[in-house]
């Protein structure tokens, strides 16, 4: 599989369909839950073993870090996921974006930690100020310690995260799209942060959008999008959309 551009919106889009023999697995927001990721990967590999020989892809929709207890372990696992026949496409989430910002801008530390970054720092062995209103002058030292603790392989993984990926009439992105704007012209801030303007829109986006970011109790199937963030860090349910041909199935870590 390769990184595809979408067709023009002026052309009628065919129903989403992966090429014959291809199978694609899209995983929603992991948020530091290495235990759930391992359980879901086991299910994915078992499912893929029953597929015909052909291209297989693992699409990761972003938000690997924060809130859950083992962000470091999640990134380490994804860095070393190498299964025969699998291509891995890792997308950028808003939490990775803020995490990378903190490496060079300590001022984002309080905002990041208020949204779960404290759990990520702890997973790397970096101490976080105990006071919510810690003075600004403590954050440069925390940022420096994080830079020292972050393995080169993890840094490289974060820097190569893609903003979106398209395949077989599907568009995969972390948060969604600004309705009415071609994907090539989207602001990355929208791709990783947008919520209501996207989730409330019934507009044809030129592809069926598969996204995370906006939590729902179960995968949310709509005519123009499929949301698969089931709040794994709190719910214990990490969800995956499995695609082959025109078929769509959900694999998850629920009972």
Q: What is the pLDDT along the chain (255 residues), one digit of tens a residue?
A: 443 444 334 445 568 999 888 999 999 999 999 999 999 999 999 999 887 677 899 999 999 999 999 999 999 999 999 988 899 999 999 999 999 999 999 999 999 999 999 999 999 999 987 765 677 788 999 999 999 999 999 999 999 999 999 999 999 999 999 999 999 999 999 999 999 999 999 999 999 999 999 999 999 999 999 999 999 999 999 999 999 999 999 999 987
Superfamily of domain 23-252: Metallo-dependent phosphatases (3.60.21.10)
How far apart CA 230 and CA 31 sit, in angstroms, is 11
pLDDT of 8: 38
| Strand-pair category, 225-227 with 208-211 | parallel
Supply φ then ψ for residue 228, to 5 degrees.
Answer: -130, 25
Residues 6+ away with beta carbon under 8 Å from 148: none
Per DSSP, the three-state class of 23 is strand
Instruction: Give the helix/strand (H/E) hosting 52.
Output: none
pLDDT of 136: 74
Contact criterion met (CB below 8 Å) for 75 and 130: no
How far apart CA 243 and CA 178 sit, in angstroms, is 25
Contact criterion met (CB below 8 Å) for 124 and 60: no
Name the nearest CA neighbour of 224 among 241, 200, 191. 200
User: What tokens were used for 188?
Assistant: 């990355």
pLDDT of 5: 40
Domain boundaries of the chain, sorted by first residue? 23-252
Q: What is this structure's pTM?
A: 0.92
Name the nearest CA neighbour of 56 among 66, 67, 46. 46
How far apart CA 212 and CA 174 sit, in angstroms, is 5
| Strand-pair category, 86-90 with 247-252 | unpaired
Name the nearest CA neighbour of 64 among 107, 88, 94. 94
Q: Which residue has the tokens 């006071």?
A: 131
């Amino acid at each position: 599989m390769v990184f595809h551009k979408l067709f023009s919106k002026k052309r009628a889009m065919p129903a989403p369909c992966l090429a014959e023999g291809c199978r694609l697995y899209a995983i929603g927001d992991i948020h530091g839950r290495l235990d759930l990721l391992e359980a879901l990967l086991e299910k994915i590999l078992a499912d893929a073993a029953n597929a015909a020989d052909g291209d297989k892809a693992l699409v990761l929709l972003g938000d690997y870090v924060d809130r859950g207890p083992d962000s470091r372990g999640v990134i380490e696992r994804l860095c070393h996921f190498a299964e025969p026949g699998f291509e891995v496409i890792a997308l950028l989430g808003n939490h990775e974006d803020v995490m990378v910002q903190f490496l060079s801008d300590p001022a984002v530390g309080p905002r990041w930690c208020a949204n779960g970054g404290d759990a990520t720092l702890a997973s790397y062995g970096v101490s976080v100020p105990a006071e919510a209103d810690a003075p600004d002058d403590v954050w440069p030292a925390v940022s420096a310690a994080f830079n020292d603790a972050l393995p080169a392989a993890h840094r490289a993984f974060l820097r190569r995260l893609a903003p979106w990926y398209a395949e077989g009439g599907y568009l995969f992105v972390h948060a969604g799209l600004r309705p009415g704007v071609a994907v090539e012209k989207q602001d990355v801030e929208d791709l990783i942060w947008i919520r209501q303007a996207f989730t409330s829109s019934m507009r044809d986006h030129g592809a069926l959008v598969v996204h995370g970011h906006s939590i729902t109790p179960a995968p949310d199937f709509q005519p123009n999008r499929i949301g698969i963030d089931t709040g794994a860090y709190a719910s214990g349910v990490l969800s995956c959309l499995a695609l082959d041909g025109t078929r769509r199935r959900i694999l998850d870590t629920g009972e």
